[in-house]
Amino acid sequence: MALLGWLMARGTPPPEVAWTQAKREPIVSNLTTNGRVDPYEWVAISSESAGPVLQIHVQRGDSVRKGQVIATVGSAQAQTDLSSAQSRVNAAQAELETLKAGGRASELAEIESGLVRAKADLTTAQSEVTTLERLIAKKAATQAELTAARTVARQAQQQIEAFERRRASMVTQPDRRAAEARLAEAQAGLTAAGRRISESLIRSTMDGIVYSLDIRAGAYLEPGAVVAKVGKLDRMRVTVYVDEPELGRVAKAMPVTITWDALPGREWKGTVESVPLQIVPVGTRQVGEVVCAIENPDNSLIAGTNINAEIRSKEVASALTIPKEVLRRDGNNTGVLKIVDDRLVWQTVQTGVSSVTRVQVLSGVTESDKIALPSDASVKAGDKIRTVSKS
C-alpha cells in the first residue's frame, strides 16, 4: 500500500513530444494534375463525295504538303462522265473550227474547183467575144456568132456568181453562234465532270503531319466523313484539368511541365495560355480546363495522349517554412503549438506559398521557435510535455 500511494503521489509523467523549427529556403508551389494533348494547329480532312476508298496514299506519321492527295474515293460514273464530256468538247471544237474556215473541207474544195473552171470559161468566152467584135468590124464574122459568144460569157459569169453564193451560204453568223454555244455547253459539262473527279481526290488542306488516319481501302465513305487529321506537332495544345478549388492558383504565363507515363524520364516545357471561363464535369470531378502551349520539337509527344501536368504557380526564393503537418486548426484559425518552458502554447500563424510538404509562414513564428510535431499522445495548448530530440 505504501508503494501504491507513492506512485499515485508522483503522478503520470508528461507525454513526449518531438519538435522542429522554421527555416529559410526556396519554396515552390506546384499544382499537380492531369490533362489531354492535341496539336496546337490542326485540321480534319473530310471526303466531299460518296464512294469506296480505292487507295490510301499516306500513312500515319507522314509529313504532307497542302494539296497533297491523302486518299482516292472511287467513282466510275464520274470517270465515264469525264470521258463523255471531253468527247463532246472535241466534237464542238472541230465543228467550230470548220465553220471558222468556211465550211466542210470537201464541199469547199468542190466549190473552189468549180470557181476556177467557171473563171477560166469566162476568160475564154470574153476573149472570144473580143475577137468576134474585131472580125465583125472587118465583115469577117456574123452577128449570130457574136451573140453566141456573149451568151457563153454570160453563162460563165452566172456560174461564178452561183458558186460564190453557195460558198457564202455555207456558214452564216447564226451557225457560228450556235456552234459556239454548243462548245460552251460542252466545256461546262467537262468542268463539272472534272470537279466530280477532283472531289474523289481527298487532299490535305495544310502542311503538317498525318497524326490520325482511321480509314482502310474498300471502306465506303459518305460526304463529310473525316478521313484523316493533319497537324503541326512541334507545338502542342495541352488541356489540363484543374479542380475547382485550385483554380485561383493558376494564371496566364505560369510555367508548366508535362510528363507522359509511356516515356518515363522525359519532360516537355511550356506555359499556361488561357484560364477557363466555366467549370465542367470530368468523371467525378468538377474542373476548369486550363489550356497550355507546350513545345514538342522532336514530335515525341503524341496527340490524343493523357499526360501528367505540373503547374508552377508561385515561387519564393527565401521563405520561412515549416512542415505542413505541424499546422493545426482551431475553429477558423490556423496555427501551431509552440513549446515554451516545456508547455504547449497556441500560436496563430499566417501562411503563404505551399509545396507538397512545406508551407511558407508569413507571421507567427521565428526561426528560433520550437514547434511541436504531431504526436501519438493527445495533447493541447497548455499541456506540460517532455521534449525529445529535434526532428
pLDDT for 7: 44
- Decide if 90 contacts 166 (C-beta within 8 A): no
Establish if 244 belongs to a structural domain: yes
User: Does 256 score more than 60 pLDDT?
Assistant: yes
217 and 236 together in one domain: no
Would you give the distance in Å from CA 69 to the centre of its chain? 15
pLDDT for 176: 66
For the chain, what is the mean pLDDT?
Answer: 84
Least confident of 148-157, 329-338, 357-366: 148-157
Mark which of 228, 250, 285 sits at the end of a domain.
Answer: 228
pLDDT for 200: 75
Within 10 angstroms of residue 295's Cβ, the number of other Cβ atoms is: 15
CATH for 369: 2.40.420.20
112 and 180 together in one domain: yes
- Strands 285-295 and 268-274 turn out to be antiparallel
CB within 8 Å of 1: residues ≥ 6 apart: none
pLDDT for 249: 86
Establish if 3 belongs to a structural domain: no
All 3 cell numbers of residue 14? 508528461
Which whole number is the average pLDDT over 101-123? 72
- Decide if 184 contacts 122 (C-beta within 8 A): no
Least confident of 129-138, 214-223, 350-359: 129-138
Range of the domain at 258: 28-46+232-316
71 and 212 together in one domain: yes
Nearest Cα to Cα of residue 276 among 235, 236, 237, 247: 247
The three-point CA angle 155-158-162 to 5° equals 135
Nearest Cα to Cα of residue 289 among 244, 327, 319, 338: 244
328 and 290 together in one domain: no
| Dihedral over Cα of 76, 82, 84, 85: its sign | positive
37 and 173 together in one domain: no
**86 or 238: which carries more pLDDT confidence?**
238
pTM comes to 0.55
Instruction: Report how far residue 125's alpha carbon sits from residue 214's, in angstroms, rounded to the nearest whole number.
Output: 89
User: Does 257 score more than 90 pLDDT?
Assistant: yes
CATH for 180: 1.20.120
Structural domain count, the chain: 4
289 and 322 together in one domain: no
109 and 185 together in one domain: yes
148 and 55 together in one domain: no
Establish if 8 belongs to a structural domain: no
Establish if 6 belongs to a structural domain: no
Establish if 5 belongs to a structural domain: no
Q: Which residues of 185-218 are buried (b: 16+ CB within 10 A; e: fewer)?
A: ebeebbeebeebeebbbbbbeeebbbbbbebeee
CB within 8 Å of 151: residues ≥ 6 apart: none
User: Does 2 score more than 50 pLDDT?
Assistant: no
64 and 127 together in one domain: no
- Decide if 74 contacts 200 (C-beta within 8 A): yes
CATH for 35: 2.40.30.170
251 and 383 together in one domain: no
34 and 183 together in one domain: no
| Per-residue pLDDT tens over the stretch 295-339 | 999 999 999 999 999 999 888 999 999 999 999 988 889 999 999
322 and 304 together in one domain: no
